[in-house]
Amino acid sequence: MSVSEQLETVRSALQSGGSFIYRLALDEHGRPHVCFTLGLESVLGGVDDEAASGGPLWLGRLLHPDDSAIPEQIGQFLRDRPDAPRLFEYRLTHEDGGYRWLEDWLSPVRAGQDAETELVGFVTDVTQRRSAQRHESSVRARLQMALEISGAFSYVSDLDEGTVSFHAGLENLLGYDEPLPNSLPRQWWIDRVHPDDIERCLSVVHAATAAGEGFELEYRVRHQKRDWIHIKEVARTLVDPQGRPTQHAGFVIDITEMKRLVDKLEQRDQEKDQFLAILGHELRNPLASLLSAMAVLDLVDSADKRLHKVKQIVKRQVGHMKALLDDLFLAASLLRGKVELKPQPINLRDILEGLVADHRARFDEKGIDLAFRTTTDEAVVIDGDAVRLRQIFANLLSNALKFTPSDGRVEVILTATSQTVDVTVSDTGEGIDPGVLERLFDPFRQGPQTIAREKGGLGLGLAIAKGFVELHGGTLTAHSAGSGRGSNFVVELPRESDTQTTEPATDSAARDFTDRRALLVEDNEDFAHLFQLQLEQKGLVVAWDTDGHAALERVEEFEPDIIFCDIGLPGGYSGYDVIEKLRQNDTFVTTPIIAITGYGQQTDQDSAHRVGCTEYVTKPLDPAQLDELLTKHLA
């Protein structure tokens, strides 16, 4: 994919989310100067990227008069050479003559320690959200006013007589033009309840009455002019001196408009999820092609040391981009409660020993002593998600590596009691100031850095680790005596004393895949060509189809030993459809089917597993992951 095509892909993704990006620097007079924009016209209409680039921030005619101080505020922020992002809110003129409310997240960027600071802005149109919030506030105010002036009605229901006395407001709520009697049979009200709600409501009322307690209900009743409306009823049960229920006293309010707004906000939430999924897919696909290309180049012998150096740089930077993208979307999923654990009995000691072994080379390269010790020789079994537990401690080890200088020491200490398990990651690094400790686990928060930002990262690793620890029912805390005095990160997890686990099987099978057959269903030609080369280099016979129909027609004759299937496919059949139809064929009930896709949200993974996917892998897939998949399912 060419650079211009990639820019168009990003532009489309930005447009679907009502966003644009731009780069900002100071001109020779110390004023903020827009160097580059992408997607501006999709937010503001007639102002295109080329016209906006090279001009002041923002063009004077675009800013709302009340926001005229924004350019100077942003300029001062830029001159202060910041280390952390900052949010600005302002209004710009749309081509239709109206104004659009924008949220502008400005993040500092520097090419080197002595380079001038520049800012990259990610701008989102929040006009509709603000309008909805104002509207919701207005609705709430009207409801409060209605209660104050008895616009909502109150009632008293006589349980012995079977009648209900309604106070003022019943006619307005139900849309009657003529006054109704003050007292009506209880059945008159029941007859106006939506048929689908009657049984549930009567069950709650009967249970509360028998217990002499109050109740709250939301249900639908028939309106004379607007079909069904949603109401909320709050009541208490009144009893006589002998404790026998005699009356219900309560009030009823119309919550139809509030329900509509909630439904609208939930729809917006779903649209945001969809945008994040599309954005992740569009960003992961180019990365997948780059990583696959590097894997193929690694298989080509070259005596040119320069080429080897370039390959290592590209591979390292692509890996860094993949890690940043994974962290960003994972943090978003955690914040929105979209991550679910897959717990099973697991020996935590095995996980920690394996992680220490895996990280040792990186620590040795920096000259840091990495050690593991435990207070028990026995297996320490907990009920946990192995993947997420590894991610917790990998993030803590990466944090220790980042902030511990050469000749330092990092130690992983495992202690266990009958009730809990504690894991401490201790380092002799830079330490943590008390002011930073308070916000250390907040997303996008980082300790102070120099203008070179040599530590890098988005400030998400600790937030993600804490989120996963809490999903396991545990706690993650940080302790430090101050700057330059090292730090301790302590994970405490609950322990199931009677949980049993089995030792993992050792991988003794030879990794020989010669003449094994793989079916690849993938519409991205760049990635498919490179992935096919990787598989063929390992001895597999590969068939490739770009859509689900072709794959389903080929599969019976080809008889693959393993199937790699994208999710977002053209031609009417999604990856979910392909996997589901394959599982309905007796020939492929047990064939490994690997979903390999740019869609990485939990809902996507759940959907794939529901239709029979064996494993779900997000792009890009590095060579080690591919080896692990092939060994696991074919060797």
Residue with tokens 């207005």: 138
In terms of pLDDT, which residue wins out, 39 or 354? Answer: 354
CA nearest 533: which of 552, 546, 520? 520
Distances (CA, A) of 545 to 90, 129, 549, 552, 553: 49, 42, 9, 9, 10
Angle at alpha carbon of residue 131, lines to 128 and 137, rounded to 5°? 140
pLDDT single digits (tens) 503-555: 444 443 446 788 899 999 998 887 888 888 888 888 899 999 999 999 999 99
Q: What is the model's pLDDT at position 568?
A: 84
Residues 157/189, Cβ–Cβ less than 8 Å: no
Among 71, 105, 125, where does a domain finish? 125
Residues 294/311, Cβ–Cβ less than 8 Å: yes
pLDDT single digits (tens) 262-297: 888 777 766 766 666 666 666 666 766 676 776 666
Query: Any idea what the CATH number is for the domain that residue 53 is in?
Result: 3.30.450.20
In terms of pLDDT, which residue wins out, 52 or 486? Answer: 486
Does one domain contain both 311 and 360?
A: no
β-strand partners of 505: none
Does one domain contain both 191 and 115?
A: no
Instruction: Specify the 3-state DSSP secondary structure of 23.
Output: strand
- Asked if residue 261 is part of any domain, the answer here is no
Q: If you count DSSP H runs as helices and E runs as strands, how many of each does the chain have, helices first?
A: 19, 23
CA nearest 445: which of 318, 571, 331, 365? 331
Measured distance CA(630)–CA(635) in Å, rounded: 7
Does one domain contain both 245 and 275?
A: no
Dig out the tokens for 133 from the structure: 């919030």
Domain total for the chain?
A: 4
Q: What is the model's pLDDT at position 502?
A: 47
Integer distance in angstroms from the first to the last C-alpha of the chain? 34
Q: pTM value?
A: 0.42
- Asked if residue 47 is part of any domain, the answer here is yes
Among 125, 152, 183, where does a domain finish? 125
Average pLDDT over residues 309-335: 66
- Asked if residue 260 is part of any domain, the answer here is no
Measured distance CA(16)–CA(18) in Å, rounded: 6
> Residue 178's domain spans which residues?
137-254
Does one domain contain both 450 and 483?
A: yes
Does one domain contain both 364 and 487?
A: yes
In terms of pLDDT, which residue wins out, 296 or 626? Answer: 626
- Asked if residue 502 is part of any domain, the answer here is no
Measured distance CA(604)–CA(625) in Å, rounded: 20
**pLDDT confidence band for 42 (50 / 70 / 90):** confident
- Asked if residue 56 is part of any domain, the answer here is yes
Measured distance CA(261)–CA(255) in Å, rounded: 10
Query: Any idea what the CATH number is for the domain that residue 303 is in?
Result: 3.40.50.2300
Query: Any idea what the CATH number is for the domain that residue 350 is in?
Result: 3.30.565.10
Average pLDDT over residues 393-409: 90
β-strand partners of 57: none
- Asked if residue 132 is part of any domain, the answer here is no
How distant is the alpha carbon of residue 600 from its chain centre?
Answer: 9
- Asked if residue 501 is part of any domain, the answer here is no
Does one domain contain both 114 and 180?
A: no
- Asked if residue 262 is part of any domain, the answer here is no
Does one domain contain both 31 and 111?
A: yes
Does one domain contain both 120 and 145?
A: no
Greatest alpha-carbon pair distance for the chain in Å reads 99
Among 436, 460, 494, where does a domain finish? 494
